[in-house]
Amino acid sequence: MAYYLHIERDEEKPIAFCEWQAAVYATEHLRMFASAVHTGINPQTGEVLSMRANEGDVEVYFPESGEWTSVFRWREESAVFAPRVDSIDVTHPTWKAAVSLAKILNARIRGDDGEEYDLATGRIVDA
């Protein structure tokens, strides 16, 4: 099962959709996902996978490949993303985008188990 990181605030002040959109538009190398369906290929089976897109899903531009990749999924008052690595690489485009969004939104990055990640180092600061 995949493990996700969440860009979120405390329950008392959830992220409004308009704030999320404004943060995305203010962040370089990000754009709103424009299609109705996410598609990809399972690297082990070659099977084409499809998943419904949510309004507010976001793509990140990866300069090395020159491609846009769907990374952030909007979930009503927060966003989730799969780090896709065992440890956080603070130079990776996904982490840099997540940190930028979190800072603009005055939010935190937390894991599925509730642990909080330091935005500068990518290390867990609170479990």
How confident is the model over 67-103, as pLDDT tens digits? 999 999 999 899 999 987 667 889 999 999 999 999 9
Q: Tell me which residue range forms the domain holding 69.
A: 5-126
How confident is the model over 1-24, as pLDDT tens digits? 578 999 999 888 999 999 999 999
Residue ranges of alpha helices (H) inside 26-124 are: 93-105
Token pair, residue 43, equals 């690297």
Q: Output 86-91 pairs: Cβ under 8 A, ≥24 positions apart.
A: 87/122, 88/117, 88/121, 88/122, 88/123, 89/122, 90/120, 90/121, 90/122
Measure CA 71 to chain center. 5
Token pair, residue 117, equals 């990640």
Number of domains in the chain: 1
- Whole-number Å distance between alpha carbons of 58 and 78: 12
pTM over 0.95: no
Q: Is the pLDDT of residue 126 over 80?
A: no
